[in-house]
A and B are shown apart, each in its own frame.
Chain A
Amino acid sequence: MTIRFNVNGKAVDVKAEADTPLLWVIRDEVGLTGTKFGCGLALCGACTVHLDGTPVRSCQTPLSAAEGKNVTTIEAMASTEIGKKVQAAWVALDVPQCGYCQSGQIMSAVALLKSNPKPTDADIDSAMSGNICRCGTYPRIRAAIHTAAGTKGA
């Protein structure tokens, strides 16, 4: 069946089964590969996108749930004020090592700052503990969130 929704502000018509995880639709059908696959069970956060502004794990979000909605991916983060600030902080502090988790980390960080412009360390723990980084960039992620928010960490 054909399902229509918006990706990064553009309407897309996708012909795929309704239960296809949004992750694979974004990657293989729409062709945006910035969103990553790490676990398939919403345990690692690498697949995080925004669905009508709310962060979701796209590996566990069926295509049908996106119908008629706005999906935003890492590729669109530079076009929002908060996204730009977050990405600038990520670059200034050289947060990524292998980089594979970072799209998801940034999507979660942007969602945090949208709802909580001045997060504490505890807020950061809460919002970011769903995003695994095997390289251990957590200290720099935390510092970059504080930089983007203009807050000082504990």
Chain B
Amino acid sequence: MTTLQNTSRREFVKTGAAVGGGLFSGGLIVGCATMADKGPPALPPSATAPGVMTTAWVKVGTDNAVTIICARAEMGQGVFTSMPMLVAEELEVDIAKVRIEMAPAGEPYTNTMLGGQLTGGSTSVREAYDRLRVAGAQARLMLVAAAAERWKVDPAGCSVANAVITGPGGQKLTYGDVAEAASKLTPPKEPKLKAAKDFKIVGKWVPRRDTPAKVDGSAEFGIDVKLPGMLYAALAQCPVIGGKPVSFDGAQAKGMPGVSHVVQVGDGVAVVADTYWHARKALGTVKIVWNEGAGKSLSSASVGAALKTASAKPGAEFRKLGNFDAGYGAAAKKIEATYELPFLAHAPLEPMNFTADVRKDSCLLYGPTQFQQAAVGTAQAITGLKPEQITMRTTFLGGGFGRRIDFDFIAQAIEISKAVGAPVKLLWSREDDMKHDFYRPISRHTLSAGLGANGMPTAAKVHLTSPSVTQRLFAAFVKDGVDPFMLEAAVMPYDIPNQLGQVVIHDTGLRVGYWRSVSHALNVFANESFIDELAVSAGKDPVAYRQALLTKEPRYLKVLATAAEKSGWGKPAPAGRSRGVAVMEGYGTYLAMVSEVSVSGKEIKVHRVTIAADVGSMVNANVVAQQIEGSTIFGLSAALFGEITLKDGVVEQNNFNDYPVVRMHESPVIDVHMIASTEKPGGIGEPLTALISPSVGNAVFAATGQRLRKLPFRLA
């Protein structure tokens, strides 16, 4: 992986360029991308005027305008504010006023936890918590040093507030006054950072910087991109997933209003026109011959049967403690249960779309992506251009949930633009989006436990069978049949002396992708439903049962006790309502949830969800609360409704009529209780999505005596 070592510091500062690095070994994409931003609309004048100080993260103009660069894709999870807050804290600038820009593609923007320029895995805050503060401190120290040099004083005698430096004698200079001088200095390697007790904004409830634009309609999403001379494309893909186009007849389409091209690309046939509607309307007239491929044989029945057969294999061992077989054999009572979860669609409200402008010597990529490095690498592969010829501009994302980690729609936009020789915005329909997703994996979990005479588990085995997303995207991480991204929360936190964990990776033939909370959603549903079944079998209270098994886990105990207390657990529930509890740890965050549910006929109504969250140190309390509320509701759609089915290789769902999601009237009251902590930050964008299903399922059991082991929940 190349680094900045070969580039002189001054050169870097002058041009704002950095040399990019390749993806970690074994990765699909190797991309070297430069930061030279030759993108469209000019930057504000002060940022390009002479005398500008520019680092990878901070720009200071001679007019004292300060810009902070945000490297992570903003898809609702608040990074557009949280990431700059970390820089602003140390840089001593007003987070409400500083300019914020999305980063181009470039090596400094690598997510070191994931190995690429990628937003996901609830890693943004965890990965950047220290290094963005360092970046802010470095910039501040260089600016102060420049001022101190001009005044011929000791920098230690200077203070900073709101981009103004005050010298020991009360003299003042703005950041803008010393930006040029500061740009000639070397950033200090290990600047001293503030103690947490001195934070002015980090850890507090801070308004989001993107809110006003998202309220007045001016926020730019990928679908809103407009370039001079831009054409619009609608693409037909094979109804059978994975199928490819063989030939087409676009004669009728060619004659329709506004249509300029009908082109075949790798994934299908596109109509290109002067407006989206002209393209969409004409697309319906194109006759396409498809090579449907192996996917044709897939049906939910066949996939389910194959998964069941595969689950009979022992698979690879991922956990061994004591001797499960001996412990289980000797147990007074044996319990076994199988849990099943379906494929799910991501269904972000903004359908897949991307804009590409491929020219002879350059390529502009402009749109919503979680994976800038893959976008640039894809452009390299298709156009043959070098990284420094490719410009990546990331817009706001109308939801990501992991879908925009994949880059099929980016490749399509690039191919179409290349074919027609014009900038092209490709927009999928909702039906395209629903039927050409990379689905959340289907899974089957068989759990067994042996209970002692006192009803407590002495042995527990977890066996799970599921496809592996990582095998497709980042194969180097899968070793000896073990994919760590399938095993999140697969090991129960409970103090059980004999444990065995086994996993079977089974490719169903349907393409799969990372979906919010990834395998936490699978494993936490199975495990937290199962521990509840054990508690019921032992005749014990589900909260007390868990507490007895978590005596060595203070952070679990704290959230569990808090959720229990705040939900009124142990006291009678409101009339007609029952409660269910679930706990988990995910991304370094500890969570407990109590759902309050009523059942009427076959309808499950979730009234209230009480959550206790220990996220360790946090950056923006406002954003943390939003993520807790939002990811819970996102997960509730999966608990109550979500299911993707297949027939003859075609995904049967089309739109929100047959893939329902939670709406306002189905949305529960959510009470959030934060545990104060100085532990290192945990991720919060995803985990609650995994916790709502078992919490609701356990409540439904309490209400009805029906144990629902399959999602989505369907009462008998």
Q: Which residue numbers of A lie inside 8 Å of B, CB to CB? A: 16-17, 20-21, 24, 27-29, 31-41, 43-44, 46, 73-75, 77-78, 87, 90-91, 94-103, 106, 124-126, 128-142
Contacts and interface: CB of A to CB of B under 8 A. Distances in A.
A129 B664 contact: yes
A132 B656 contact: yes
A45 to B, nearest CB: 9
B349 A134 contact: yes
A94 B207 contact: yes
Interface stretch (B243-251, B331-339, B411-419, B623-631): B623-631
The 4 closest A-B pairs by CB, nearest first: A34-B217, A136-B633, A99-B214, A100-B398
Nearest to A29: B275
Given A125-B665, A136-B634, A101 B349 contact: yes
Interface in B36-83: 74-78
B547 to A, nearest CB: 29
B216 A34 contact: yes
Interface in B637-688: 655-657, 661-665, 667, 669-670
B217 A74 contact: yes
B76 A141 contact: no
Given A34-B218, A39-B430, A94-B207, A131 B657 contact: no
Given A28-B275, A38-B430, A90-B215, 9 more contacts: A27-B276, A94-B622, A96-B211, A98-B398, A99-B219, A101-B349, A128-B664, A138-B662, A139-B667
A103 B220 CA distance: 12
A78 B631 CA distance: 30
Please report whether the interface of chain B is mostly helix, strand, loop or mixed according to DSSP: loop
Contact of B626 (A46, A94, A128): A94
Contacts of A34: 216-218
A28 B217 contact: no
Contact of B656 (A31, A44, A137, A140): A44
Contacts of B556: none
Contacts of B276: 24, 27-28
B667 A77 contact: no
Interface of B: 74-78, 207-208, 210-221, 223-224, 226, 232, 257, 275-277, 347-351, 396-401, 427, 429-430, 622, 626, 629-634, 655-657, 661-665, 667, 669-670
A135 B630 contact: yes
Contacts of A39: 430, 655-656
A22 to B, nearest CB: 11
Contacts of A125: 664-665
Contact of A44 (B224, B232, B349, B631): B349
Contact of B76 (A17, A43, A98): A98
Contacts of A41: 430, 655-657
Given A28-B275, A98-B396, A139-B629, A91 B430 contact: no
A49 to B, nearest CB: 11
14 contacts: A32-B217, A33-B220, A38-B430, A41-B655, A41-B657, A94-B211, A96-B211, A98-B214, A132-B656, A134-B634, A135-B399, A136-B634, A137-B629, A140-B626
B657 A43 contact: yes
A56 to B, nearest CB: 17
Nearest to B658: A43
A102 B663 CA distance: 14
Nearest to A21: B277
B657 A142 contact: no
B396 A99 contact: yes
B629 to A, nearest CB: 5
B214 to A, nearest CB: 3
A36 B350 contact: yes
A9 B264 CA distance: 43
Contact of B398 (A99, A126, A141): A99
B349 A46 contact: yes
Contacts of A74: 216-217
A29 B274 CA distance: 10
B232 A28 contact: yes
A33 to B, nearest CB: 4
Contacts of B663: 128-132, 138
Nearest to A154: B669
A41 B214 CA distance: 23
Contact of A135 (B220, B221, B634): B634
A90 B350 CA distance: 20
The winner among B77, B217, B663 for most chain A CB atoms within 10 A is: B217
A131 B399 contact: no
A34 B399 CA distance: 16
B351 A38 contact: yes
Max chain A Cβ within 10 angstroms of own Cβ: one of B76, B215, B347: B215
Q: Which of A28, A75, A128 has the most CB of B within 10 A?
A: A28
Contact of A134 (B78, B208, B220, B348): B348
Given A21-B277, A74-B217, A138 B207 contact: no
B85 to A, nearest CB: 14
A98 B348 contact: yes
Nearest to B225: A33
A73 B216 CA distance: 10
Nearest to A103: B217
Contact of A91 (B211, B219, B630): B211
Contact of A94 (B208, B217, B396, B667): B208
A137 B626 CA distance: 8
Contacts of B207: 91, 94
B350 A102 contact: no
A33 B425 CA distance: 14
A20 B626 contact: no
Given A28-B232, A44-B656, A136 B211 contact: no
A15 to B, nearest CB: 10
Nearest to B214: A99
Given A21-B277, A39-B430, A132-B661, A100 B349 contact: yes
Contact of A99 (B210, B226, B401, B656): B210
A97 to B, nearest CB: 3
A36 B629 contact: no
Given A34-B218, A35-B217, A94-B622, A100 B350 contact: yes
A53 to B, nearest CB: 18
Contacts of A29: 275
Nearest to B427: A37
A100 B216 contact: no
Nearest to B223: A37
A132 B349 contact: yes
A142 B275 contact: no
A38 B257 contact: no
Most B Cβ at <10 Å: residue of A91, A97, A138, A139: A97
A144 to B, nearest CB: 10
A62 B219 CA distance: 26
A102 B211 CA distance: 10
Given A24-B277, A139-B629, A141-B664, A100 B221 contact: yes
Contacts of A136: 629-634, 662, 667
B431 to A, nearest CB: 8
